[in-house]
């Protein structure tokens, strides 16, 4: 959030860490002690849940070999970005906004600005990578899926690109001081407003547009198709339910991301157009409310995984099994191999019925399209089923 005073030729501006004009500090509503305590406790809770919940997600995936799938590696990447946000940005920004001073030094000023932009970019780009992975898995099930090495390479590229985008914050952020206070700002950079608009497009509008298109097409594919025949109904129903649950979960993650960052982006946009809102006496409270909603995105994803996915739910139970009120199944991952074998058997049964139906065709048609083609189709379907279970289910 950037402040530009009435005289736009000056270089004074105050960004997200302290978005309010120093010379008008006495105009603002003075938060009573009880409200300050409430804000501190709320922000601390967000930070603790963000670090703890996402750390458990990383443990569930990396600590269990059967959970190390392409999709779950992307989930770990998302969790790391949320942990970084919860550690570096949540509480420091609260202090700077609440007390309108920055006592943490120039190094922390640069790191906070950099990490804030970096983690948001990594989160949204990872959500795009997950959506494209789901899109290929559902729309083109016979195509080879990404390997673990390719997934890690994509994650590294996401961090590099996000870091390059956030680099101006690392360069231009500094601590500006006056007689009574100090502020973390990027006022030396004359392209601050342009950077803010580019960030709105690259970190919010454009990615969410892509995600909306992808998930709408996936929804039409999943809920719009019909199952052919009674014999294939059970097999297709199980596969469809698994993919549908996964798409629902990630669509929910995307929706929560969009809703969490909508208030702060709206405030930034309004302030860039009408900076006079910074003189509104209650703007600090409004800004802190919008900032708190955006920061809450760093802890909600683990709750979504636990709520909407059986394996993650059991993984959380296993992680907190020491608590007396928690019960879990020690064999919560043991059924995965059975599910893969069951899928292969249903594919074999389906092909057996298909072969029997082919026998009803005229002899010349069966000779022309018979056993060789069926065998090839059988191999392709079994391979697709194995890939779907290995990489799609989490």
Burial 8-38 (b: 16+ CB within 10 A, else e): eeeeebbbbbbbbbbeeeeebeebeeeeeee
pLDDT in tens, 44-57: 999 999 999 999 99
pLDDT of residue 336: 44
pLDDT of residue 376: 52
Q: Which CATH number fits domain 22-319: 1.20.1070.10, 1.10.150.120, 1.10.1740.10, 1.10.357.10?
A: 1.20.1070.10
pLDDT of residue 11: 32
What are residue 176's DSSP bridge partners?
A: 183
pLDDT of residue 117: 93
pLDDT tens track, the chain, 394 positions: 444 343 333 332 334 444 555 444 555 567 788 989 999 999 999 999 999 999 999 999 999 888 999 999 999 999 999 999 999 888 888 888 888 888 888 999 999 999 999 999 999 999 999 999 999 988 888 888 888 899 999 999 999 999 999 999 999 998 887 766 678 888 778 888 888 899 999 999 999 999 999 999 998 888 776 555 544 556 556 666 777 888 899 999 999 999 999 999 999 888 878 878 877 888 888 989 999 999 999 999 999 999 999 889 999 998 898 888 888 777 776 644 444 444 334 333 443 434 444 444 444 444 444 444 455 555 555 555 555 555 545 6
pLDDT of residue 27: 55
Cα–Cα distance, 269 to 197 (Å, whole number): 8
Start-to-end C-alpha separation, the chain: 38
pLDDT of residue 66: 86
Q: What is the 3-state secondary structure (H, E, C) of 74-94?
A: HHHHHHHHHHHHHHHCHHHHH
Instruction: Write the CB contacts of 212 (distance below 8 Å, at least 6 apart in sequence).
Output: none
CA separation, residue 81 to residues 49, 51, 122 (Å): 14, 10, 6
Instruction: Write the CB contacts of 290 (distance below 8 Å, at least 6 apart in sequence).
Output: 263, 264, 266, 267
pLDDT of residue 17: 47
Q: Could you tell me if residue 327 is left (phi over 0), alpha (psi between -120 and 50 degrees) or otherwise beta?
A: beta
Backbone angles phi, psi at 356, to 5 degrees: -65, -35
Of 341, 353, 356, 351, whose CA–CA distance to 381 is shortest?
351
pLDDT of residue 377: 53
Cα–Cα distance, 73 to 256 (Å, whole number): 20
Residue 275 Cα to chain centre, angstroms: 31
């Amino acid at each position: 959030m950037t402040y530009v005073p009435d005289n736009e030729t000056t270089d004074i501006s105050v960004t997200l860490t302290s978005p309010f004009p120093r010379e008008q500090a006495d105009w603002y509503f003075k938060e009573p002690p009880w409200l300050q305590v409430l804000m501190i406790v709320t922000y601390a809770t967000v930070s603790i849940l963000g670090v703890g919940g996402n750390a458990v997600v990383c443990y569930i995936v990396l600590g269990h070999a059967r959970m190390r799938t392409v999709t779950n590696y992307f989930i770990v990447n998302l969790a790391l970005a949320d942990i970084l946000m919860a550690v570096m940005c949540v509480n420091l920004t609260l202090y700077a906004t609440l007390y309108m001073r920055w006592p943490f030094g120039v190094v922390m000023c640069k790191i906070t600005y950099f990490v804030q932009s970096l983690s948001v970019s990594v989160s949204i780009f990872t959500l795009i990578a997950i959506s494209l992975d789901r899109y290929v898995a559902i729309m083109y099930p016979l195509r080879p899926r990404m390997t673990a090495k390719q997934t890690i390479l994509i994650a590294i590229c996401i961090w590099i690109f996000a870091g390059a985008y956030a680099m101006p914050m690392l360069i231009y952020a500094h601590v500006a001081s006056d007689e009574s206070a100090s502020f973390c700002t990027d006022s030396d950079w004359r392209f601050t407003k342009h950077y803010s608009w580019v960030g709105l497009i690259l970190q919010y509008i454009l990615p969410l547009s892509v995600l909306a298109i992808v998930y709408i097409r996936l929804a039409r594919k999943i809920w719009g198709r019909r199952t052919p025949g009674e014999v294939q109904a059970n097999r297709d129903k199980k596969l469809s339910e698994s993919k549908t649950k996964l798409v629902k979960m990630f669509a929910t993650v995307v929706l929560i991301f969009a809703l969490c960052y909508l208030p702060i982006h709206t405030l930034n946009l309004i302030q860039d157009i009408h900076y006079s809102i910074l003189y509104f006496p209650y703007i600090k409270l409004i800004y802190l409310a919008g900032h708190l909603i955006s920061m809450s995105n760093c802890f909600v994803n683990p709750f979504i995984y636990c709520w909407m996915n059986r394996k993650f739910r059991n993984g959380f139970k296993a992680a907190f099994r020491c608590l007396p009120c928690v019960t879990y199944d020690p064999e919560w991952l043991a059924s995965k191999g059975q599910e893969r074998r069951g899928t292969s058997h249903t594919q074999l049964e389906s092909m057996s019925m298909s072969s029997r139906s082919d026998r009803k065709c005229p002899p010349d048609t069966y000779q022309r399209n018979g056993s060789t083609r069926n065998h090839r189709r059988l191999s392709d379907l079994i391979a697709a089923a194995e890939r779907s279970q290995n990489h799609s289910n989490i």
